Amino acid sequence: AFASPEPVTYADADLLRDAGSAQRFAGKTVLITGASRGFGAVLARAFAREGANLILNARAKSQDLDTVAHQVCDCGRKATLAIGDLSSESECASAFSSIEGSIDYLINNACPPIEALSFAEQTPQEWMSFVNRALGLAVVPTHQAQQRLALTGVVVNVSSVYVTSVQPQFSHYIAYKAALEGFARSLATESKGVR
């Protein structure tokens, strides 16, 4: 995850074998941030196999994103693109303007590129810049999605085992993920219906 490895292609047959196809999300709309490759792309295909319509976010339109959208459509589901850097309020608003209707699930998966850097190798500004931008990729879309989330909507924040199994050279990444978990716990106490 930290070195942007070559994308792994998961065959549809493997997804069906591992996740089944019970149509558990039939009629639901799922917005996935960072959906063009990696975990986001696999999530999109799995949700589509389970009957969900997808809203796919990436910073920019790309062949990878188009491929994921085609795979969603091949499952007989709808794929809407929401292009933009969601850590920016204006880009997030613009990306969300293409969305029609309510969102049942918001999956905050996007993360900026992660470098293995010790705290001493970064200036305080560089360290805080990463944390702020990364947090923004969850906080801004969650804030803007509030009016679009269904009454029983779900917000999922993708975290990391590094929060509890701390590794050197990732203090910036670990601080971001720990803050993300705190944000989720706090938000859960304020929500009336949205999980």
Which DSSP string do the residues of 129-157 spell out, in sequence order? HHHHHHHHHHHHHHHHHTTTEEEEEEEEE
Distance, CA of 108 to CA of 141 (rounded, Å): 8
Tell me, what's the pLDDT at 147?
A: 84
The β-bridge partners of 31 are 55, 106
Check: CB of residue 104 under 8 Å from CB of residue 153: yes
pTM score: 0.89
Distance, CA of 129 to CA of 67 (rounded, Å): 31
Distance, CA of 43 to CA of 49 (rounded, Å): 10
SS (H, E, C) 48-115: HHCCCEEEEEECCCCHHHHHHHHHHHHCCCCEEEEECCCCCHHHHHHHHCCCCCCEEEEEECCCCCCC
Alpha carbon dihedral 156, 162, 168, 173, in 10-degree steps, equals 0
Tell me, what's the pLDDT at 191?
A: 82
| Model pLDDT for residues 56-109, shown as the tens digit of each residue | 999 999 999 999 999 999 999 999 999 999 999 999 999 999 899 999 999 999
Distance, CA of 158 to CA of 39 (rounded, Å): 10
Both tokens of residue 167?
Answer: 């590794």
Check: CB of residue 30 under 8 Å from CB of residue 54: yes
Which parts of the chain register pLDDT below 50? Answer: none
Sign of CA dihedral 57, 61, 65, 70: positive
Distance, CA of 85 to CA of 120 (rounded, Å): 29
Tell me, what's the pLDDT at 181?
A: 97
- Rounded to the nearest angstrom, the gap between the alpha carbon of residue 82 and the centroid of all alpha carbons in its chain is 12
